[in-house]
Amino acid sequence: MVLQNLKNFIKKKGGWIPFDSFMFECLYGNDDSYYMRKNTSLSGLPFGPSGDYVTSASLGHWMARAYADIYAGIISKTSNIDKEVFAIREYGPGTGELAAKILIELFDQGILPKKYEMLEISQSFIEFQKNKIADILKRHDESLYLKANNILEWKLVQVDREEFAISTDIDPINGLVIASEIIDSFPVKVALWQPTDEILELGIRINHEGDLEFQNQLADDKLIEKVLYRKNQALENGYLWTTPRMLDICFHTERWLKILMGKLSYGELIISDYGLERYELDSDNRIESNVTAFFKHTQTSKLNECLKNVGSQDLTYLVDFSQLSEFFLDQNDCYFHLKSQAAWLIDSGVLDHFSRNQDFLTKGHEMIKEVGNLQKLISDNEMGQSFLFCHVFKNNSRA
């Protein structure tokens, strides 16, 4: 169904669409696209052991503890704002597990927020999240479950082909905003820079056999401008590009950040994703696009594989964290830290939690699982260095 819709769309567009349009159709374009699918039983979801990939939200309570501590910090250092008005806003909350675990942490500390807002694109995912959260909270404490019903609020985010994430009807908040692995699912353009030839844009057409295949076209001025900016920036940093290379460029990130920051009056924003800074993204040994597909826990290493399993595999790419840094450096009401996931978790006190909770962890099986989760989150070979955290402080005095 997604494939047929995609082919019709390509024909309607004159036989060729750029990669970002292809990615939009696969992930969001219609009711059975990857992130819009109606089958959201646990085994039908993209996330978790039965899906295509695992995210940090499901690796124990460590992330939730860190976010809860940050939220506690925000409300404790704010004397001039009524503590009752603080909220948490989570973009693309996945299974809902992270929200449930954060609420448990805050409930145990006696500092539940006034509101926990979930911004979700898919109505079916909302239904799944409601059930999952109810399950987790009831198991922890029935009274928390009842309280959470008045705290949790879902907002449907509208997406479209041109602008991608359209501004949702949300109020400005004081508190904590979480965007965990969101930007890597924004539709991205792929450009090809060549030393002695024109800059091209990767796109998709239908070949004579009726199959999808890649085809490059001349890039438009907007894309050329972005590529040349990165080439000149590399040169200023002492790296002269001499070999052809592909660059993944997202045109939606900045606009989304602008909207997001406009709706955070006071507090902290934490964007985490797998990605790199440009000195690594644009180094000479990275000549391929970093776009990749995940299907049943297998990551494909070839761009061509992205054309398979249309609508039923995840498409994603390495987020350009320098784009985020440039955006936040330009704002005059915030400052930020950029850290690896390992550094961010350790600075958030995760190892102190670990040593304080030895008692809880001595229950054999549980301990092995929790220690394994923590290792996965911070080890260099797993997620520790491949995930980055951009932690932004808005209208906050410097720590």
Ligand X SMILES: C[S@@+](CC[C@H](N)C(=O)[O-])C[C@H]1O[C@@H](n2cnc3c(N)ncnc32)[C@H](O)[C@@H]1O
Enumerate binding residues for ligand X (CB under 6 A). Answer: 35, 47, 55, 57, 91-94, 119, 121, 157, 165, 180-182, 185-186, 256
Q: Which tokens in the block code for residue 128?
A: 């799944």
Nearer to ligand X, 92 or 267 (CB): 92
Cβ closest to ligand X, residue 36 vs residue 374: 36
Q: How far is the CB of 299 from ligand X (least distance, A)?
A: 13
Which residue's CB is nearer to ligand X, number 93 or number 113?
93
Cβ burial 52-82 (10 Å sphere, 16+ → b, else e): bbebbbbbbbbbbbbbbbbbeebbeebeeee
Residue 364, both tokens: 């054999």
Q: Which of 171, 321, 336, 180 is nearest to 253 (CA)?
A: 321
Query: Greatest CA span in the chain, whole angstroms?
Result: 68
Closest to ligand X by CB, 78 or 124: 124
In angstroms, what is the minimal distance from the CB of 236 to ligand X? 32
To ligand X, the closest distance from the beta carbon of 263 in angstroms equals: 12
Minimal distance, residue 181 CB to ligand X, in Å: 4
Residue 282's closest CA among 341, 232, 324, 326?
A: 232
Q: Which residue's C-beta sits nearest to ligand X?
A: 92
Residue closer to ligand X (CB basis): 101 or 245: 101
Smallest separation, CB 93 to ligand X (Å): 6
Smallest separation, CB 91 to ligand X (Å): 4
Distances (CA, A) of 69 to 44, 101, 158, 357: 33, 12, 31, 15
Query: Cβ closer to ligand X: 57 or 68?
Result: 57
Positive/negative CA dihedral, 201, 202, 205, 209: positive
Quick one: DSSP state of residue 373? H
At its nearest, how many Å lie between ligand X and the CB of residue 385? 18
- For ligand X, the closer of residues 93 and 275 by Cβ is 93
**For residue 149, how many other CB atoms are within 10 A of its CB?**
12
Which long-range contacts link 140-143 to residues 24+ away (Cβ below 8 Å)? 140/104, 140/107, 141/104, 141/107
User: Residue 353 is encoded by which pair of tokens?
Assistant: 């939690």
Q: What is the dihedral of CA 39, 45, 46, 47, to 10 degrees?
A: 170
